[in-house]
Structures are given as structure tokens and as C-alpha cells.
Amino acid sequence: MRDVDHSASGPWHTGIGESIDGVSTMSFANLLQDVRTRVDADLAKWLAPKVIGAAAISAPVGHAAEAVRDLSLRGGKRMRAALVAVGYEAYATPGSSWEICVPAMVANELLQTYLLIHDDWMDDDDTRRGGPSTHVVLRKQWDNRALGDAGAILAGDLACGWAQEALLQSEVAPERVLRAARAFARIQSTVVCGQIAEMTADPDALTPSVETVHDLKTSSYTVTGPLLVGAALAGGMDEQALTRFGRPLGVAFQLRDDLLGTFGDPSVTGKPIWNDVRQRKRTGLVAELLRDASGLEVWKRGEVEPIVRAMESGAKARVEARVTELLAEARTALAAMTTITEAGRIHLEGAVSALGERAS
């Protein structure tokens, strides 16, 4: 799984069409900044007593808790937390503030920590957010590879339990918290199914489709889920409409990630170029490449540079067109949402460009 915590200070790609304007883009960027400041502070505050409690059991339990804390606090764009705020705002009564969502934001960030820890172990990735991944930390700390691996799985499980605890501390009416908790549980089941689907998919075949996997892995977890959690906390019940908006935006977000992974500027994205191809990752570009016989042949031969060149000749443009199409679909879904607040609409529009048209 990609950690999509790119720097919030990167340039926002704009000028896509008349439906986006600088106001919603800037407004969303400001919201993201405010949310990040608040969530960074509250994550630290929430986790501090947990780490103390864990360390009181034994030093190694403390180490596992510290690893959860360190990864949670190290970077993280807090995009999901911002989308909780946007979902809340879209259904909130005048005068109420997204700050009531802070426990749910902390929960979404801890859910991400949990998934990243398990994912890094599965992918044998040594680094995450500019530091060592959790299994690397614990292997070294406990001077034992198998113990460090088991510790990382348990550290992830701990973050998962804490995520639920945080969400359930939301201070709104019980039926709202309950609805948010249901949406939150579905994020977990959905993203995990997506991860299994991706991990086990034949890299040379088109089923399950890349978009199906992107939808399962990304749409619920990154877009629809956080929006639904926020909306539920505000008393909003418009699940279908938010899903119609979130599904295409989530897939577009992941396809944009695929494009940036192969054709992005490493100095802007912070990611090594062509890694996806090298790792034979089943991206949207691969799906397009495999649609014709010559592309399939190049892909199967496995040489990186020829694959990238072949992608450049058609697959790239088709994926870009598909992103544009999906973003238009999200905007159409947004236009059909007639009962949301104006602040919510502006930020949902801003989210479309932030997620779908980013350059980093």
C-alpha cells in the first residue's frame, strides 16, 4: 500500500475546468493545514498515556506502543482526517465546528498506522515516512527477527484496537457515534479485501480489474469512509450520495498515484521513479498496456525501460483521460447533492482537485 502522505505544501494542479476555482482549492488547502495542526497535537496527546500504560506492563510492550506512536506522529498529510471534517461540515448545523470530529480523526490516522505497519511487513518495506518501518524497529530493538516481525503484527493490532477506542470517544449523540462506528468498521473490511485482491492478483491478467482493486483498496479507506464517518457525526444520512462521489474520486486518486509513480517528478513526489514497474505492480498503466498484444509482450519480457516507453505511447494518455472522466463523475455526483451545506460543497470541490489533480 502506498502511503499517500505527500507534502501538503506541494503545488496544486489547477485550471482543469470551470467547475474548479482557486477558492475551493485554497479553502481545502487551508482546512487541511488546520486539521493537520490539530490532529498532530491531539494524536500526540491521545497516545501519550497509552504509551505510558504499555511501558508500565513491560519494556517491550512499551517499545511496541512507542513504535505505533512514532509512526503515527512522523509525517502524515492527514488527508483522511481532513475528509472527516469535510463530511461533517457538509451536514453540520450552522455554528457547529469540525473540532467535535477530532477523536474520529485520531481514529482514522490510527487505522492508517495499523494498515501501514501490516503492509510494510508484507511488502518487506524497510522505510516508511522517512524512517524505519515498524518491523525493522522492533527486530533491531529486540535483536530477533522473528520476534520483531510478530511484534510488528501485534503493534498493528494494537493500533487497530486504539483506533476503535478513539472513535468511540466521540462526544456526539450515541446514534451518531454508532453510525460512524459502522462506517469505520466497513473501511477496515473493505480495504483488507482490496489488499488480498491486489496481493494475489495475476500481474499478467486483467481480472479482477485494476479499478475494482483501486476501489476496494482506496475509495472507501481514503475518501468515502472518512466522509461517511464525518457525515454520521453530523447526523447526515446521505450514504449513497457520498459513495457515488467517493468511489470515482478514490479510483482517480489511485490512478493519479499510478501515473506519478512512473511519470511523476521524483523531486516533487519524493518517490523513486519506475519503482512500480520494477516491482511489477499492477497499476492502471499496466491494465492499459495489457489491452494490446504488443504491450502484453513488452510487459512479459520484463525490461523496465521498454515497458515505460510502451506505456508512454498510449497507456499514459488513456489513464489520464480516465482520471479526467472519473473526476467529472465525482463532480456530477457532487452537483446532485442538493441538501449539503455551502461550506461542505466548497471543500468537497477542493477535495476533488487536491486528490485527483495533484502533482505530488
Q: Is 160 in the site for a copy of itself (CB under 8 A)?
A: yes
CB of 334 to a copy of itself, least distance (A): 27
d(CA 51, CA 55): 6
Q: Is 162 in the site for a copy of itself (CB under 8 A)?
A: yes
Closer CB to a copy of itself, 104 or 340, in the complex: 104
Closer CB to a copy of itself, 207 or 267, in the complex: 207
Applying CB under 8 A, which part among 31-39, 116-124, 323-331, 351-359 lies near a copy of itself? 116-124
d(CA 161, CA 54): 13
- Strand 127-128, strand 131-132: pairing: antiparallel
Q: Which of 178, 304, 321, 336 binds a copy of itself (CB under 8 A)?
A: 178
Q: Which of 23, 44, 48, 185 binds a copy of itself (CB under 8 A)?
A: 185
**Hey, what's the cell of 68?**
505505533
CB of 237 closer than 8 Å to CB of 273: no
CB of 311 closer than 8 Å to CB of 285: yes
Terminal-residue alpha carbon distance, the chain: 16
Q: Is 284 in the site for a copy of itself (CB under 8 A)?
A: no
Of residues 191-250, those binding a copy of itself (CB under 8 A) = 192-193, 195-197, 199-201, 207-208, 212, 216
Of residues 131-150, those binding a copy of itself (CB under 8 A) = 142, 147, 150
CB of 110 closer than 8 Å to CB of 145: no
**Hey, what's the cell of 167?**
472513535
Closer CB to a copy of itself, 113 or 353, in the complex: 113
Q: Which of 57, 206, 317, 321 binds a copy of itself (CB under 8 A)?
A: 57
Q: Is 113 in the site for a copy of itself (CB under 8 A)?
A: no
- Output DSSP code: residue 358: B
CB of 121 closer than 8 Å to CB of 259: no
CB of 29 closer than 8 Å to CB of 62: no
Q: Which residue, 130, 297, 253, is CA-closest to 261?
A: 253
Of residues 8-37, those binding a copy of itself (CB under 8 A) = none
Neighbouring residues of 256: CB distance < 8 A, sequence distance ≥ 6 = 323, 355, 356, 357, 358
Axis crossing angle, helix 316-335 with helix 342-356, rounded to the nearest 10? 170
Closer CB to a copy of itself, 81 or 163, in the complex: 163
Q: Which of 118, 256, 282, 358 binds a copy of itself (CB under 8 A)?
A: 118
CB of 283 to a copy of itself, least distance (A): 17
Q: Is 339 in the site for a copy of itself (CB under 8 A)?
A: no
d(CA 5, CA 265): 16
Q: Is 90 in the site for a copy of itself (CB under 8 A)?
A: no
Return residues touching a copy of itself (CB under 8 A). 54, 57-58, 60-61, 64, 118, 121-122, 142, 147, 150-151, 153-155, 157-158, 160-162, 164-165, 168, 173-175, 177-178, 181-182, 184-186, 188-189, 192-193, 195-197, 199-201, 207-208, 212, 216
